[in-house]
Amino acid sequence: MRFKGLNVVITGGASGIGAAAVQKFLSEGANVAIWDLGEPAPSHLPKSQYFFIKTNVANADDVAQATKETLLRFNTIDVLINNAGITRDASLQKMTNEQWQQVLDVNLTGVFNCCKAVSPAMVQNNSGRIINTSSIVGLYGNYGQVNYAATKAGVIAFTKTLARELGKYNITVNAVAPGFIATDMIKTMPEKVIEAMREKVPLKKLGTPEDVASVYAFLAGAEARFVSGAVISVDGGLTI
């Protein structure tokens, strides 16, 4: 119960990696606010520990209201995990302006909105942890994902800059860069495609949402108190 009494916000916490993170923090005693557009599946863990706020992170007013409601419920926000993200894949010449803008609005502006809204409460407490979800695509690029790669690279630069700005308030800011993770979306791909992904990974397997959630938990824990401005890849050695 290392996070007993800790108040955590997880965006995109209704599914995938975000849902695994919710379960991880709840199981270790944290109070969790889930900010997402879709409702999370029922948890077997105590309902008194978590609540859901329908939130579009791309909308600053939505985020401001979610922050207000969370602070009314929890009084403080100790950890912010900016996990929400979308893809709208296409090669550059086939990508529409709408596809480009949608991904920027959620993946990058969403991180900006949430950090801007939540960080004043952390500054007031002179304590906090901000964890932003990037991707190995943000480090190395990927065909057909110029929009996604640009946002995830932007998240890394945003993280490093914010770590400089907030460090004096005892707030750490770090990024996590997942590789091939076996989310429900990947599981719907043809087995031949999944096998090709496995073969690219030195560990010869895909990661799980729980693998990423465990790194979130490390960065939120006492062991990572002197880690800030870092980008941790969770990719099974893919980017060696």
Coil/strand/helix, residue 34? strand
Catalytic site residue 216? Answer: no
Element (H, E) at 74: helix 60-74
Q: Are 11 and 110 in contact (CB under 8 A)?
A: yes
Task: For residue 108, give the DSSP letter.
Answer: I
- Annotated catalytic residue within 50, 140, 143, 148: 148
C-alpha closest to that of 170 among 129, 230, 114 = 129
β partners of residue 132: 82, 175
Residues in Cβ contact with 181 at an 8 Å cutoff, skipping those fewer than 6 apart: 17, 206, 207, 208, 209, 211, 212, 234
The amino acid at 98: E
Angle between helix axes 97-104 and 146-166 (nearest 10 degrees) is 30
The full DSSP string for 76-144 is ---EEEE-------B-GGG--HHHHHHHHIIIIIHHHHHHHHHHHHHHHHT-EEEEEE--HHHHH--TT
Q: Which residues does the annotation mark as catalytic?
A: 148
